[in-house]
Amino acid sequence: MKRVSKIILFVMALGMLVCVRQPVKAQCAQCAATVETNTKSGGNAAKGLNKGILFLLGAPYFAVAAAGYIWYKKYRRKNVSLNMRDEKLNLN
């Protein structure tokens, strides 16, 4: 019963997150005004800002992938022999 109630609670929370959306401004007022005026005058500051955001978004994923690769290379076992029995296992 607990599992069913957790699933129902999760679905309700997810539904509320999907249904209740509000537009947000992720930039400070000064940055938004600077980019807006630069774009209107033909500049390309918005492209640089977007590339910077994508760089900052990808950096944590790259760091975790690099740490995982190093951990895998350092701690994996090499030349491990598995001593398994040839007889069948009776679980009854």
Residue 22's CB is within 10 A of a number of other CB atoms, namely: 4
Per-residue pLDDT at 25: 60
**pTM recorded for the entire structure:** 0.44
Q: Mean pLDDT throughout 3-17? A: 88
Measured CA to CA, the distance from residue 42 to residue 36 in angstroms comes to: 10
Give the residue among 33, 14, 37 at the shortest CA–CA distance from 25: 33
Instruction: Name the DSSP letter for residue 67.
Output: H
Residue tagged 């492209």 (tokens)? 47
Encoded amino acid at 13, one letter:
A
Per-residue pLDDT at 67: 95
